[in-house]
Amino acid sequence: ILYTGGTFGMVPENPNDLKSNLVPGTLVDLGKYMPALEENGYFAKHGVEIEYLSLGEPKDSSNFTPKDWVIIAKKIEQEYNNYDSFILIQGTDTMAYTASALSFMFTGLAKPIIVTGSQLPISHPRTDAISNLTNSIYIAAHKSFGLRSINEVLICFNDDLLRGNRATKYSTNDLEGFESPNFPGLASLEERITINEKYLVHREEEKFELNPTMDDQVIVVQLFPGYSPKYLEDIINNTDVKGIVFRTFGAGNYSMDKEFLKVMDMAREKEILMLNTTQCYQGSVHYGKYKTNQGMEACGVLNGKDLTLEASITKMMWCLANLSYSESRQMLATSICGEMTN
Ligand code: ASP
């Protein structure tokens, strides 16, 4: 279990004022809150051996940058042969970004990496931290509980087990903090745990490898009626941006405005990677459905289909850092590790 911070271990900034801001806390003794983790506790009795490690100063995940993903990925790579599974505790705010980034950085995963956290601190009487971590441990300790190993980067939250690069933070306060709007959950965590085998990805034949570099020269452009292309033109001409994730209407539609398309053409000439994703919470970009997505398609904007925003950004960052322009275009049009419906 790698602990990085988040609400899971947070404490009030002023210990005498329980209503003061929550700030990251050092969570030294997990067993104090979870007797199941103690030396002779429930998990030990089931033959589960757990090691717990705090990875640097605990942080609010809103302060995460790609550097944090690299630190996490490298730690997992370094310890890969020493453990059957890895659980990462982090804040929920950027959890889906971390999970997506890790899914692209690793190839040939033959072990689960489970990312979890909570909406209420572990010290709170109504906390969801204990059940979220307990569920994660069940998935991680699959051998002890007669479950199959899910060799993917996962998010385990509020009785849901989601593919990390399909998940998105859905609510700031609901204990059901995450959803996977375009792909089924990978397990039902009811009274019994049932794995949805047919939805798992199988990449074990690939060699285990980590390519942790990410290029942050990426922006997101959320389009709206009346969007003025002059701002985009300015960014294209006066910054070093290398990738743009567009958030379009419905099935990937946007106005056929000539000025806008001229700017898109400029971007293509500069070999800026462009991806069309929908603003809709659920569903997919569908080229060829409406005339209003032909303009973007003709300007070389790739079809992001049903990618989440988190997966779009991190996949683009990963492609830019590891592949050429044409390889990146190919990779962005294909599902690498179950992030998109082909
Ligand atoms: N701001 C917190 C974080 O992402 C929220 C959470 O953990 O739920 O670290």
By percentage, how much of the chain surpasses pLDDT 90?
A: 90
* Distance of alpha carbon 1 from alpha carbon 53, whole angstroms: 6
Q: What is the pLDDT of residue 34?
A: 96
Query: Residue 58: CB within 6 Å of ligand 1?
Result: no
- Inform me whether the pLDDT recorded for 102 exceeds 80: yes
Please tell me the pTM assigned to this model.
0.96
Q: Is 132 in contact with 157 (CB distance < 8 Å)?
A: yes
Instruction: Give the angle 186-187-188 at the CA atoms, nearest 5°.
Output: 140
Distance 61 CA to ligand 1 centre (A): 6
Window from 14-28, 90-104, 138-152, 280-294 with minimum mean pLDDT: 14-28
pLDDT tens-digit readout, 48-73: 999 999 999 999 999 999 999 999 99
Task: Indicate whether residue 60 lines ligand 1 (CB < 6 A).
Answer: yes
Asked whether 22 lines ligand 1 (CB < 6 A), one says no
Average pLDDT (152-163) is: 97
**Which CA distances in Å does 266 have to 144, 182, 184, 313?**
57, 33, 39, 21
Select which of 7, 116, 168, 248 is catalytic.
7
In the reported structure, the alpha carbon of residue 4 is separated from the centroid of ligand 1 by a whole-number distance in angstroms of 11
One-letter amino acid of 92:
T
At residue 75, does pLDDT exceed 80? yes
Check if the beta carbon of residue 194 is closer than 8 Å to that of residue 145.
no
96 pLDDT exceeds 90?
Answer: yes
Residue 18's pLDDT is what?
85
What percentage of the chain reaches a pLDDT higher than 70?
100
**Are 25 and 58 contacting, i.e. CB atoms less than 8 angstroms apart?**
yes
> pLDDT tens digits for 119-147?
999 999 999 999 999 999 999 999 999 99
At 188 the pLDDT is 94
pLDDT digits (tens, 9 = 90+) for 167-208: 999 999 999 999 999 999 999 999 999 999 999 998 778 899
Dist. CA 103 → ligand 1 center (Å)? 21
SS3 300: coil
pLDDT computed for residue 203 by the predictor: 76
Query: What's the CA gap between 131 and 207, in Å, rounded?
Result: 34
Question: Which pLDDT belongs to residue 161?
Answer: 98
pLDDT score recorded for residue 28: 79
Question: How many whole angstroms separate alpha carbon 316 and alpha carbon 242?
Answer: 9
Question: What local confidence, expressed as pLDDT, does residue 109 receive?
Answer: 96
Q: What is the mean pLDDT of the chain?
A: 96
